[in-house]
Amino acid sequence: MPPSSDIPIYTISLGCPKNLVDSEYLLGGLPGRAKPVDRPEDAAVVLVNTCGFIRPAVEESLSEILGAAEALRGLTPKPLLVVAGCLVSRYGEDLKSGMPEVDLWLTTHELPDWPAKIALALKRKANAQPARLFSSPASYAYLKISEGCRHACRFCTIPSIRGRLASRPLADLETEAKAILASGRKEIILVAQDLTAYGQDMADPSSLRALLERLLPLSGLERLRLLYLYPAGLTPELLDFMKSAGKPLLPYFDIPLQHAHPDILKSMGRPFAKDPRRVIDLVRSRFPGAAIRTSLIVGYPGETRTHFNYLMNFVREVRFQHLGVFAFQCEEGTPAAAMPGQVGMKTRQSRREVIMAAQAEISEEWLSGFERQELDILVDAPHPEWPGLHVGRAWFQSPEIDGVTYVSGPGVKPGAMVRATVEEAKTYDLVALAG
């Protein structure tokens, strides 16, 4: 392969947005220029960037690896099969002995070296000045501000997979944000395990506020969205600053509470084990119309019917705009896996279904309030099945995790911000007409 040629690459990026960012850095750092292809058979490199957070994610990652290996079987020359990410960091040695079809294994602990390791396997030189190759829609991109986590929640595998908190320098983040906006994208979404912990590991401590002060004035930025705000870090001072900052900072709060009962929160080792209503009240006292998303775990060891009923009442009273509920997964190596009082999977799944049914009613009622209103819709992509219809998002809809707004009309195209009237509200989505 000549040194100047493109490298056809087929990429599967699983799990959270942080994994997607890692994949985009890898694509930008490959020798020559990465050329994404639609089939593994057409690639010189097949990359599977895995998730290993919980058992279903592990199973999905293994299935994708085996599927990729099968697609490449018998090809000559055989594309380089690369498996990277969290699954490798968690189960690396066991995987290597059981999957000889994989040519290269890359852990999250060697992220900066991913392009060079692939280049070496291809007998090429990595790019001297790697650039991120965006794979998200033309409307938004994620900006990962830190790696790892400083918390020790008893159910979580992230610290063992991703390591301790490691914040990125302010100047680097500002430079990358400018590159995102230069690509024409209007929305930047900050991601980390805990945004509120940003900078606390630095010799010269910075803060989330300092980062926001750098990013908010940037030309071309129309939406700045914050994902994963730990409740303990949402102080009155930070919220007061966010209120005074105004646009383009969105009043959208992703606050992973995980439960509501103090007994369960304490058992989980959560950094905010008191009444979570306090942080919700803090947010709503400054942002009465805020969109609040949270994630909850049901069936945690020791969760009784009383604990669950308490959580159920909490959901009904707080009325989150967005809610994700997960049945507890007993993950090997976590303290929670060895706790007494393990709840049966059938009960865990049943409790999840009960809360999600209640949330569906809450969501539908909330969204119905937007009917006949005009909203600014950021258009992500054409609808895959209906010509003329596009998938977009209002300010209170984060990509991939929330509902969407289906929009049509004049001026609607990927990357555009259009003013549209909501014609119909569904359980989790809106239908709107621009013009």
**CATH at residue 225:** 3.80.30.20
Residue 131 lies in a domain: no
Distances (CA, A) of 202 to 53, 206, 210: 26, 7, 13
- The pLDDT, as a whole number, for residue 44 is 93
Residue 194 lies in a domain: yes
* Domain of 423, in residue numbers: 374-434
Q: Which of 109, 123, 112, 99 is nearest to 45 (CA)?
A: 123
Instruction: Mark whether 111 and 17 lie in a shared domain.
Output: yes
Whole-prediction pTM: 0.92
Instruction: Mark whether 272 and 414 lie in a shared domain.
Output: no
Instruction: Mark whether 407 and 265 lie in a shared domain.
Output: no
What does the DSSP 8-state code read for residue 344? P
- The pLDDT, as a whole number, for residue 401 is 95
At 253, phi and psi to the nearest 5? -125, 115
Instruction: Mark whether 200 and 326 lie in a shared domain.
Output: yes
Q: Which of 156, 211, 223 is nearest to 186 (CA)?
A: 223
- The pLDDT, as a whole number, for residue 4 is 47
Q: Which residues neighbour 18 within 8 Å (Cβ) at sequence distance 6 or greater?
A: 142, 144, 191, 192
- CA–CA separation, 299 vs 305, rounded Å? 10
Instruction: Mark whether 298 and 213 lie in a shared domain.
Output: yes
The last residue of a domain, from among 70, 87, 121: 121
Using CB atoms within 10 Å of the CB of residue 135, give its burial: 0 to 12 exposed, 13 to 18 middle, 19+ buried.
middle
Token reading at 291: 């969109």
User: Scanning the structure block, which residue is given the tokens 């490298």?
Assistant: 7
At 233, phi and psi to the nearest 5? -90, -5
Query: Which ranges of the chain have pLDDT less than 70?
Result: 1-4, 128, 271-274
Using CB atoms within 10 Å of the CB of residue 307, give its burial: 0 to 12 exposed, 13 to 18 middle, 19+ buried.
buried
- The pLDDT, as a whole number, for residue 52 is 86
What's the number of domains the chain is made of?
Answer: 3
Give, to the nearest 10 degrees, the angle between helix 305-318 and helix 277-286. Answer: 0
Instruction: Mark whether 245 and 355 lie in a shared domain.
Output: yes
Residue 135 lies in a domain: no
CATH of the domain at 83: 3.40.50.12160
Instruction: Mark whether 96 and 144 lie in a shared domain.
Output: no
Instruction: Mark whether 347 and 393 lie in a shared domain.
Output: no
Cβ distance 78 to 72 under 8 Å?
Answer: yes
Instruction: Mark whether 330 and 396 lie in a shared domain.
Output: no
- CA–CA separation, 166 vs 163, rounded Å? 8
- The pLDDT, as a whole number, for residue 330 is 87
Residue 193 lies in a domain: yes
Beta strands in 135-271 (DSSP E): 140-144, 146-147, 166-167, 187-191, 223-226, 252-254
Distances (CA, A) of 406 to 379, 409, 428: 9, 11, 11
Instruction: Mark whether 353 and 426 lie in a shared domain.
Output: no
At 216, phi and psi to the nearest 5? -60, -35
- The pLDDT, as a whole number, for residue 82 is 96
Residue 248 lies in a domain: yes
Q: Which residues neighbour 84 within 8 Å (Cβ) at sequence distance 6 or greater?
A: 22, 26, 47, 48, 49, 50, 105, 106, 107, 114
